[in-house]
Amino acid sequence: MKRFSFVLSLFAVFSMVCSASAGTLDDVKSKGFIQVGVNGDVFGFGKPDEKGVWKGLDVDTGRAIAAAVFGDASKIKFIPLTAVTRFTALQSGEIDVLCRNATRTLSRETALGLNFVQVNYYDGQGFLVPKSLGVKSAKELDGASVCVLPGTTTELNAADYFRSNGIKMKPVVIENTAELAKTFFAGRCDCLTSDASQLAGTRAVAPNPDDYMILPQIISKEPLAPAVRHGDDQWYDIVNLSVLAMINAEELGITSKNVDEMLKSANPKIQRFLGVTPGNGKALGLDEKFAYNIVKQVGNYGEVFERNVGKDTPLKIERGLNALWTNGGLMYSPPFK
């Protein structure tokens, strides 16, 4: 009998844990908005403009989720987080989803209890240096002082790279992204290391961007993706398919400008995707027009990329790995059916 009672107690605890970790969609609907953790200091990915309007690829990813859930991309609250506080904020429930240039890793998916969804930017770590330093390769940085954020994969990657190449570095560790950039531009460290996309954003807001260069070496794989907490499969599916909807829309040639016309398409793939043929929305617990709302209000992945970080922006980033698979990139969506 004692053993049976013990098993019942364990089951009760397990049920409580599952109950606490599930139901994010209901919580979000009850609040009337989604709380999204973002960077706050990286131009092109997550940063308010001079008028206080949030802009960036990660910001638009958050808006896509809001469009899917509410049919309104503006029902969202952005929470700026540092690299150190971002995962704790998600674990504690301070935010509903993290859209903050976070690298998907084994330890974060296991020890931290997070689930990463579809990658929204394939990146790699690099080095930003002043041209006056006179170096052309990261291997010439022996003895350099290196500005780096704590609590990131960047720290370990840099240490591994310098050690494996038999050179030494002097880390200058500063927690805040904006302060890190100021430290670098003030000349307190020889180089700044981070994801290449973040380096491009940092250089874009430098006092004189042409005075700086990103070295050619990419020393790591950094698949950046939104993250949610373990234990709520429905919310994971919603966030995951919100990102995939932008990619799928680009594959199908659907844009924010032609999406209304595409509602009349006879293509069954487009009919299912835009909710003309029902089923996808019901499967997620959302309106059948959830994908339509994402594309109409936020755009497809290509539109989001070009608007925030593309070749016509100050970052001037080529699609590269972030092109569709049909164009030699890694962006690929499973069927929406």
- Model pLDDT for residues 32-46, shown as the tens digit of each residue: 999 999 999 999 999
Instruction: Please indicate, yes or no, whether residues 116 and 242 belong to a single structural domain of this protein.
Output: yes
Q: How far apart are CA 273 and CA 251, in angstroms?
A: 11
CB within 8 A of 160, min separation 6: which ones? none
CA 272 to chain CA mean position, Å: 27
Instruction: Please indicate, yes or no, whether residues 136 and 196 belong to a single structural domain of this protein.
Output: yes
Instruction: Please indicate, yes or no, whether residues 190 and 271 belong to a single structural domain of this protein.
Output: no
Domains contained in the chain, number: 2
Instruction: Please indicate, yes or no, whether residues 107 and 232 belong to a single structural domain of this protein.
Output: yes
| Residue 22's pLDDT band (cuts 50, 70, 90) | low
Between these two residues, 153 and 20, which has the higher pLDDT value? 153
Instruction: Please indicate, yes or no, whether residues 109 and 156 belong to a single structural domain of this protein.
Output: no
Is the pLDDT assigned to residue 196 strictly greater than 90?
yes
User: Does residue 3 fall inside a structural domain?
Assistant: no
For residue 177, what pLDDT is reported? 86
pLDDT digits (tens, 9 = 90+) for 126-149: 999 999 999 999 999 999 999 999
Q: How far apart are CA 198 and CA 40, in angstroms?
A: 12
Instruction: Please indicate, yes or no, whether residues 49 and 79 belong to a single structural domain of this protein.
Output: yes
Instruction: Please indicate, yes or no, whether residues 78 and 162 belong to a single structural domain of this protein.
Output: no
Domain, as residue range, for 177: 123-222
Among 222, 255, 283, the domain-final residue is 222
Among 166, 191, 222, the domain-final residue is 222
For residue 263, what pLDDT is reported? 98
Instruction: Please indicate, yes or no, whether residues 107 and 138 belong to a single structural domain of this protein.
Output: no
Check which CATH number belongs to the domain holding 251 and give it. Answer: 3.40.190.10
Instruction: Please indicate, yes or no, whether residues 263 and 314 belong to a single structural domain of this protein.
Output: yes
User: Does residue 47 fall inside a structural domain?
Assistant: yes
pTM of the model: 0.88
> Which alpha helices (DSSP H) does the chain contain, by range?
2-21, 24-31, 57-70, 86-92, 106-110, 153-164, 177-185, 196-204, 233-252, 259-262, 268-273, 280-284, 290-297, 301-308
| Residue 153's pLDDT band (cuts 50, 70, 90) | confident
Instruction: Please indicate, yes or no, whether residues 130 and 84 belong to a single structural domain of this protein.
Output: no
User: Does residue 100 fall inside a structural domain?
Assistant: yes
User: Does residue 270 fall inside a structural domain?
Assistant: yes
C-alpha distances (whole Å) from 117 to each of 86, 151, 157, 246 are 16, 21, 23, 13
Instruction: Please indicate, yes or no, whether residues 135 and 218 belong to a single structural domain of this protein.
Output: yes
Is the pLDDT assigned to residue 119 strictly greater than 90?
yes
Among 192, 222, 252, the domain-final residue is 222
Residues 297, 290, 293, CA angle at the centre, nearest 5°? 15
User: Does residue 19 fall inside a structural domain?
Assistant: no
